[in-house]
Structure 1
């Protein structure tokens, strides 16, 4: 089966809200964002790339949506329902516009918190209540989740499956199979240069890094970090 590459964005352009600590490096300029999309669109098979967005920033609608449509690309948008309607974040009309344009809407939880640190009841609320709210807004099932900060363990993965999700997107980097439940992505940063982007889009990864990634994913799948 063909392996796919997950390319993840956070914010684009000038933030319209106060950023959390450590969030700034993951914002790209408008030029950088368009360059990445142009390179994906020009690839021999653009469908080998899955384009995702985390954190439900307003730039998802105002910048990303028209850029994707112009290039005939599709994206997956993972939404923090606790931010819906807040300044600098997506509102219900934005979410419907994304959905109506053929984009996939998924959950990023309610708050921007690491799911590994939540107890059973808190985790269930983050996964189930966010999904229910998004389904009410968009009018169709929501079956995919973007894992906040890429932090997961065996308990989080079980919780996602129990809540009815069919795909969970991490931040492990590298490629994934289309039928996989856990799907790694590479989150782009504003400091990346053309060589970095070449490696990401080509799927190149040093053998030692590939081994460490594989071992790390296996360890997280089978251990429990949280309470």
Structure 2
């Protein structure tokens, strides 16, 4: 049994068909980069693949590449942006489910959960998963925290909301069954061998200690 896992996150693939938010281009990768990563990890049971933001490249590029390699992934969708230009729509979400993929919530409108205005918490943590659950035909209880921005207050809200698993953007390996799961994002500067090297580096005691300290600080602040 795999005791620890490395979670990888994909944001966008190929040529963007919408105006990107400031800094978003850093995590947008080419089709070639994306496929190289898949080929490097396709036989690794200790790697989990996730997708954030609900871009249409998840369906148009990501899904066929996954199916070709016999891989499965979890897609964290922004429920409030379904159907927007170059975003997944309701039919796209249903197609992912029909093809054996898992759907999770990335919230409603890609807000920082540490800085929600009055009334936004219900939209982000209750309405979003409800909308996605209706589309999927099954409960959606897992989340990916937008921007990886959390503290002890955010984690407490997620537990009160009944979240069964929460992904962050902290990087490094995770215990396979842990409630809080760090992830590492693909980015525009990766080259051949990136995922293989990352898998080796993530087992370094020094790196694991550094990541643990960083995550502990976030949980306690």
C-alpha deviation, 1:24, in angstroms: 0.3
2:15 equivalent in structure 1: 14
Gapped regions of structure 2 (runs ≥ 5): none
1:81 equivalent in structure 2: 79
2:30 equivalent in structure 1: 29
Match of 2:96 among 95, 98, 102: 98
CA distance in 2 between partners of 1:209 and 1:175 (Å): 10
Q: Number of paired residues?
A: 220
CA distance in 2 between partners of 1:40 and 1:195 (Å): 10
C-alpha deviation, 1:210, in angstroms: 3.3
CA distance in 1 between partners of 2:201 and 2:156 (Å): 29
Normalised TM-score (structure 2): 0.94
Change (3 A) 1:203 1:103: farther
Q: Which digits, 9 at most, give the CA deviation of each residue in 1:77-117, with x for residues without a partner?
A: 00011210011000000000001111110000001111011
Q: Which digits, 9 at most, give the CA deviation of each residue in 1:167-214, with x for residues without a partner?
A: 000011111112111000000101023354332233536655433321
2:188 equivalent in structure 1: 190
Q: Contact conserved, 1:175 with 1:184, CA < 8 A, in 2? A: yes
CA RMSD of aligned residues (A): 1.6
Normalised TM-score (structure 1): 0.91
Gapped regions of structure 1 (runs ≥ 5): none
2:109 equivalent in structure 1: 111
- In the TM superposition, structure 1's runs of 4+ consecutive aligned residues that sit over 6 Å from their partners are none
Structure 1 counterpart SS, 2:6: strand
